[in-house]
Structures are given as C-alpha cells and as structure tokens.
Chains A and B, each alone.
Chain A
Amino acid sequence: MLTQALFRALDKKAIWVIGIFLAVAILVPMANLLIPPGQFGHVPTYLVSLLGKYLSYAILALALDLVWGYCGILSLGHSAFFALGGYAMGMYLMRQIGSRGVYGNPTLPDFMVFLNWKELPWYWLGFDNFWFAMAMVVVVPGLLAFIFGFFAFRSRVTGVYLSIITQAMTFALLLAFFRNDMGFGGNNGLTDFKDILGAPVQAQSTRVILFAATAIALALSVLVCSMIVNSKLGKVMVAVRDAESRTRFIGYRVEYVKLFAFTVSAIMAGIAGALYVPQVGIINPGEFEPGNSIEVVIWTAVGGRGTLIGPIIGAIVVNLGKSWFTSALPEFWLFALGALFIFVTLFLPKGIVGLWKQVFGAGRQTAEPTPPTPARSADIERGEDPSTFDNPQPRPAE
C-alpha cells in the first residue's frame, strides 16, 4: 500500500521537483568543492550556506502549505515549531562544545556557568547524543502540535480564531524563551557552536554536507507531501478546506484530518529549523516572533498555495529579494515586503504558480489533479455572516 502511495505520488509532477532538488543536492556541493575558486561556476562556501538557509525556509513554507493550502488552517504559529526544532539542534550543538567554552566547563554551557547554575537541568539531559537530539527535533514540535491541535480542533476553533490562538502560542513561547531561568540561553539564545557529529561546523566540507542534507530533506518533504495530498486523505483535507461542515456531515472526522495535517506539518517545520540552525550558527528567541510566522505565510502565498512547488518558489524568491534589499536598500525592504503582501493578496491570490498557469497552461488546466486554491474569490457576493467567512458555502459547480 505504501509502495502504491509512493508510486502515485511519484507519478505526478512531484517527481520533477524531487529530481531537481536531488540534483541540486549533488551539483551545488560539486560546484563548491570541485571547481576552484575564481573559475566560472564556482559556488563560494558562504553562498552554499545562504542557499541552504533558503532551502530550509522552503521546507518551512512547504510545511505551512500543507496545512494552509491543502487543509485551510492558517497557522500563525509555524515559526514556533521551526524554532523548537532549531532549539533541539542548538542544544545538541551546545553540548558538543564541551570544555571549549569561555568558562571551560565540560558539561555546562557558558550561559549556565554565567548564571551560576550548578548542574544541567533535566530537560538538557540526553542532548549530547545526536540521535536523541534528532528524535527531539521531531518529537517536540510534533507533540506540541498534536496536543495543541487536539484540543483546538476538537472544540472546533476555526478560521481567524485559530490563527489568533496559534499566534498567541508562539508569542507565549517567545516570552518564555526570553526568560533566563528557562535554561535556553535567554535573550542571546544558543550560539558559538563548534562541532556537529565530530566535524567542525564552520568547515567548508561540513557546510556543503549540511546543504546537501537540507536539499535532500526538502526533496523528501516534497515526496511526503505529495504522497499525502494525492492520497484519499489528501482529498478529504481539500474537502475540509473548501467545505468543512459539509465534510463533517458526510461523516468524516474533520478534527482528525486536521490534526494529522497539523502534526505532520509541525514536524516538517521542526526539521527545517534543525537544518537551519547549524547553517546560520545561532538560534535565539527572535525566531519565535509572530511576525516571522506571518512572513512564512507570505512566502507561501507568493509562490502559490495549494501547490507543492509554489511555497518552495515563494520562500526562495522572497528571501532572495530580502537578501538583496537588506544589502542594497535596507530602509526599503519593509516597504517592499508590505507592498508584496498587499499586491499578492489583491492581485495574485494564486501566487506565481497560478500566474504561470494562467499565462502558459490554460489548455492543460483540466489535467490538474487538485484545484490549486479554494473556490473563493473576490467576486463571491459580499460575504455571509462574518463567522462563516472562513467556510463559505461552496458555490454550485461551475
């Protein structure tokens, strides 16, 4: 059955996306390691890390797309899952510093020595083991999402309300991680990493391997998402997105469908965070900022939600823009980002992918397996009752 699902997933265009990122995972490292610096085609190491950062963002955007684009849950708390995964990785990296810290304490990270702590708090135990830390990267965000989602979906918190309480969740975590006595480094977060699996984090070869790992993780994420959205469950997810009540009345347990999507998505976000941290070299509570979550939403929206390639394109394009703007015209970046938010919501509700289809692929529209966006558009008559806005009555088939 799994092979069947795999086959069905790979049957689609997803195979192209997966293929591209697997190729990237091989070609970029080769361009960095084999082509000597200065020659055409050489990719400098800093660029490898930068691209790796973008790819981890792409995984995060894909994770959000799974819940928002396919299941209609606008989570404004995905940066929390991302940051939790990142902290789990950061804790492993902190433990690897060992006695090379400023204070030279073999077990305690520097900030704990600084705060005059005597022993490692219990929740830091085990993080010196890579595989335990990797398990936590998956378990912590997944468990949080499961518990949070279980209660939220069971009590039918939907739409804007859900968005706001996810935002409250990440805000609460932001405040919590800022506290020094939480034991996660407070304001400064975790940084100054030395080794990952015995290899120095700063080394060229490590960076290249981390990049390749990120690209492969992205390819796997696309594969998993493709398997999910092409399965029967995926169809139900889309049904929940487009007409939640109707799906419920037909007899599906809507809350379990949502819970599944939410948890899987949180796990993917956690993995993205874990890949992000060693490449940028720091994790601090700023990653929990509610604003970050909203930015992820805009990556997804720019690329085109409800598609697998859209959020990846969106994350990379927007972040390329951000890198360019913040170095060339720093004071204009927020103008550009704000304008992007407005422009995309007003004129590009289906994102870049939607635009592409409109321009080039009008004839192939029928071949599309899933309608890329919910059947809501500006021409829907001006609303129902406000509370039914998020679940408008499905329009009669066109």
Chain B
Amino acid sequence: MLTPLLRLALLTMSLLVPTLAQAQTTDITARIAAMGEANLKELTQIVTDLASTGDPSVVPVLTALGDGNLYLDETSGRVVIQNGSTITDPLTGEAVDLGADTDLSRIRVNNGLRRDISAALGGMTLMSDNPRTRLSAAQGFLANPDPATLPLLDEAIAAETDANVLGVMQTARATTILSSEDASIEEKQAAVPQIVSGAGRSAITVLTSALASAPDEVKPTIQSAIAGLEQSRAVWAALQNVWFGVSLGSVLLLAAIGLAITFGVMGVINMAHGEMVMLGAYTTFLVQLVIRQSFPGLLDYSLLIALPVAFLVTGAIGVGIERGIIRWLYGRPLETLLATWGLSLILQQTVRSIFGPTNQMVIAPTWMSGSTDFFGLAITYNRFWIVIFALIVFFMLLLILNRTPLGLQMRAVTQNRRMASAMGIRTPFVDAMTFGLGSGIAGLAGVALTQIDNISPNLGQNYIIDSFMVVVFGGVGNLWGTFVGALTLGVANKFLEPYAGAVLGKILILVLIILFIQRHPRGLFALKGRAIEQ
C-alpha cells in the first residue's frame, strides 16, 4: 500500500545522498586546490574551513600540511602529498604519476599556522564519533601538552560520555595545566593528583619534566608525588618479579614433583626423568598433528586431549622401565642412577632419529595466547595457565597420596619398606605404580612445557639438574618440601637475575643450594626417623 511512495522516497534519497556528498567533496577538492597558491592568511582560513566540514578525509591533508609534506606541482598546478619518494593525491590517497617534468615546491607554514592545524586536527578527532579515535587524540594531547589546546580539551571533556576516554582527557588537561604558564597555582596543585592517578607508567616522566618549570609553591607537591610513584613502582617491580618467580617455580614444580615421588618412595634417582618430560612434549606434538589432520575443529582443545594421552604414554613407559631395569637394582641407588642415565641417552637418540634434531612446534590454543594487564602486572596467559596447572597437578597428587589406598601404601613404603611389606603391602606393585605415576606426571609437565619451551630431544636435559636441585633442596618424602623448594628456587632465581644476570644468578643459586645442603643434608623437610642415617 505504501510501497510505491516508500519506493519513491528511497529512490530520491539514494539519488540525493551521493549528490550531497559529491557537493561537499568538490568543495573540499576546490579548497585543497586553492591551497597551492594561497598565502599564509588564506591558508589559515582554508584550514579552518576544511576543519569545519568535519569530514575525516581532510585529516591526511592537514597532517601533511603541518608536517611540511604538502607540495604544489608548479607544472600541473596540482597539490600533492610527498612522503619520501611516493607522491599521493591528498584526498583519495592514491598514488599520482606527475610525469618527468615535475617541479614540486613545498607549501610553507609557520608556527602559528601549525598550531592552528594541530588544534583543528585535535578538535576534529577529539569530537569524533568513534571513542577509539577520541582516545588516541586524547593520548596525543597527553604526549604533547600545549596550553593553547586547553579550551578545546575543556569542550571535549564537557561532551565526553565514555569514562575511559574522559579519564585520559582529564589527565591530558592536567598535564597541559602543569606545563602552562597562565594556570594558577591552585589549578596546578589540583592537577598533580590527576596525573598520578591517570598517567600510569608515564606519570613519573611527566611530573619530572614539569618539576623544572613549576613555580616554587607547587614543587613540593610534585616532588612528594614523584616519591610516592617511585615507591609504588618499586613495589610493582618486586611483585612482577614474584610473579616471574612463581611462574618459573611452577615449571620447576611440574618437572620435579614426579622425581620427588620416585626418589622419596623408592630411593631411585631417575636420570631419565627429563626424557619422560621430553616424551610428554613429543606426545603433545603428535596429538596435535593427528588432530590437525583429522579433527581440525578440536585444535583448540588439543592440549587438553594431550594431557591424558601423555600421562598414559609416559606412565606406561615408566612402568616398563621399572619392571625391566629398576627392579633389578633395588638397594643400589647409585647404580640406578647410571642405568637410567644410559636409558636417557637411548631415549634421546631414539627421538632424535625419529623426529630429527630440530625443534618441533606446538601451536598455542587461542585461550592460552596473549596477555593481560593485572593492576599493572603483565601476565601472559600461557604462564598463568601453567601456574594453575601446576597447582592442580600438585593438589591432585596430594589427594592421591593422602586419600587413596595406593597413596596410603606408597606412604607406608616410604616410611618403612620392610614393615609395609610385613603388613601385606605388595611393595613391587607399589614400586611399579609409583614409578609409573612419577613418569606420568613428568609427561604432564612435558605437555605444559610445549607452551614455553622448544620441543627438542634435549628438552629434558635442561630441566633435569634444576629438578634435582628442587628435590634435594625440598627434602624427600614430603610433597610440600618439593612445593616450597620449587617456588623458593623460582623466586630466588628471578630476584637474583636483575642484580647478577641470568647466568651468574643461576650459579649463585647452585652455590647457595650446595651451602644449604651442608646445613640440612636431607633437605628442607627431611623425613624424621630413628635410623642412624636419618
């Protein structure tokens, strides 16, 4: 019923709108063309006119004019932007070929005009409909405070609705006030806290540069603000270090905890433990390969799928090692060390023969990539998830040890093997399960390490010595010892690094552990007993 009418209206509008736009564009084009021959006064007028159109397409022209990149081609009379060797049309941004006989002359501007341009540009962008454009404009003002822009900022602040952008604008205003000569002392005093709360990491630089030109009355305020900021910065730096340390510690915890179990229960030093980690990483790689080829939709969950697979694979290999080699060597712990070292060489070389010596890649799932800003702490998601994962593994293990029959048997064997055996516990079975469990956890660690380390045949070797340090430091027979040991070593390492450098820090840690062992030959949480050797 209303269709014909509507159709007509639509048709008119569709015809009209381009015409309107066309009209404005020709208007802008004419003005830009006029810039070539205009004197300074006329240029100022043109800039104001262009800005008043509110059309975002004039922004490049104004920017180029301000930067001195706008040229007049004397032969053709065209106005163009020259940026390096490329010459473009000021409005469309398309490349322009002016032929061989061009004669470019720069359109000159003076400081007054430049200020007008930046004000016009800032005004256009500050008033833009897009909050992101407004934000970047406000950040531009924050970076280059200019007292002349104050009215503009005030206007923008009054109109601003987005709280985030408003904060930046107010900070920009405060910074501008602090650098302006006209502002009153009270205004300046009031501006300082705004900068402190709003300017974030750059607050110290802003305040320090303002300090020199500030009137004497304001100086103490600024100085105390700087002192406060520096203090909190030191605290945050320390917290950041703690986070890095916790992150490293959780990796150590994952790598060492399986070792702690086998060492604690069986007294076996498993030198092939690092290779179990490595095999876990390669299992992850294979799982992802299969998923990518057969079930691409599950790619994001490949790590989660790899977890049980890696646990079962390395756990099974662990049981195999225990049944095949280690059970013949009970009572000779130093020789299990040699045999498992030999095994680790074989495993490494096997993997090298199959997969080659080069690094393999495991793609991070989307939920593990990127980072977040947690009150100023940069936290990458992969590190975050590894910390969480280490905690989950640790507490699961604690649960297994304290709440399951197998755990009960394992603890019994740890404390007194003969008595446990006399009570009817099948110690060989417990040994095999313990070794399988320890190896399986190493496999889980391998899955986690794919996210932060290269997957190469040598992966395990990089962790084995650190893992031993953790176990020896933490003490045997108590998982909490491993927990505390791993976190202590991680945090200590990260705190020494800034002062001593990564390598020297590590050397210091090793020396400290050697010294610590002198005081506590059985580690931090030694299992107390009445046998002479305890």
* Chain B associates with chain A: yes
A residues sitting closer than 8 Å to B (CB atoms) are: 74, 148, 151-152, 154-161, 163-165, 167-169, 171-172, 175-176, 178-179, 245, 290, 294, 297-298, 301, 331, 334-335, 337-342, 344-346, 349, 376, 378, 380-392
> Does B469 count as interface, using CB distance less than 8 angstroms?
yes
CA distance A68 to B233 in the complex (A): 53
Contacts of B328 in A (CB 8 A): 346, 378
Of the candidates A156, A294, A335, A390, the one whose C-beta lies within 8 Å of that of B346 is A335
CA distance A263 to B37 in the complex (A): 93
- Given A376-B332, A386-B414: A338 touches B469 (CB 8 Å cut-off): no
Of B53-61, B94-102, B510-518, the stretch lying at the interface with chain A is: B510-518
A-B contact pairs, 26 of them (CB 8 A): A157-B517, A157-B518, A157-B521, A160-B267, A160-B333, A165-B517, A168-B468, A175-B507, A175-B510, A176-B503, A179-B503, A245-B533, A294-B341, A338-B344, A340-B342, A341-B341, A346-B328, A382-B331, A382-B428, A383-B267, A385-B416, A385-B417, A386-B263, A386-B266, A387-B533, A391-B533
> Does B72 count as interface, using CB distance less than 8 angstroms?
no
- Given A160-B337, A383-B417, A388-B531: A179 touches B513 (CB 8 Å cut-off): no
Are B518 and A155 in touch, CB under 8 angstroms?
A: yes
| Interface residue SS majority, chain A | helix
> Does B522 count as interface, using CB distance less than 8 angstroms?
yes
- Given A338-B342, A346-B328: A172 touches B507 (CB 8 Å cut-off): yes
Are B339 and A346 in touch, CB under 8 angstroms?
A: yes
Q: In chain B, residues 469-517, which have Cβ atoms closer than 8 Å to a Cβ of chain A?
A: 469, 472, 476, 503-504, 506-507, 510-511, 513-515, 517
> Does B345 count as interface, using CB distance less than 8 angstroms?
yes
CA distance A339 to B414 in the complex (A): 30
Nearest chain A CB to B250's CB is how many angstroms away?
22
- Given A160-B269, A387-B534: A331 touches B349 (CB 8 Å cut-off): yes
Measured CB to CB, the nearest residue on chain B to A155 is B518
Q: In chain B, residues 287-336, which have Cβ atoms closer than 8 Å to a Cβ of chain A?
A: 325, 328-336
Are A167 and B468 in touch, CB under 8 angstroms?
A: yes
Contacts of A163 in B (CB 8 A): 269, 334, 337
Contacts of A175 in B (CB 8 A): 503, 506-507, 510
> Does B286 count as interface, using CB distance less than 8 angstroms?
no
Measured CB to CB, the nearest residue on chain A to B327 is A382
CA distance A155 to B503 in the complex (A): 28
Contacts of A389 in B (CB 8 A): 267, 331-333
CA distance A339 to B344 in the complex (A): 10
Contacts of A346 in B (CB 8 A): 325, 328-329, 339
> Does B8 count as interface, using CB distance less than 8 angstroms?
no
CA distance A165 to B469 in the complex (A): 8
Of the candidates B263, B325, B510, the one whose C-beta lies within 8 Å of that of A172 is B510
Contacts of B352 in A (CB 8 A): 331
Q: In chain B, residues 168-203, which have Cβ atoms closer than 8 Å to a Cβ of chain A?
A: none
Are B337 and A74 in touch, CB under 8 angstroms?
A: yes
Nearest chain A CB to B178's CB is how many angstroms away?
45
Return the 9 tightest CB-CB contacts between A and B, nearest first: A341-B342, A386-B267, A338-B345, A338-B346, A334-B349, A172-B510, A338-B342, A345-B339, A380-B331
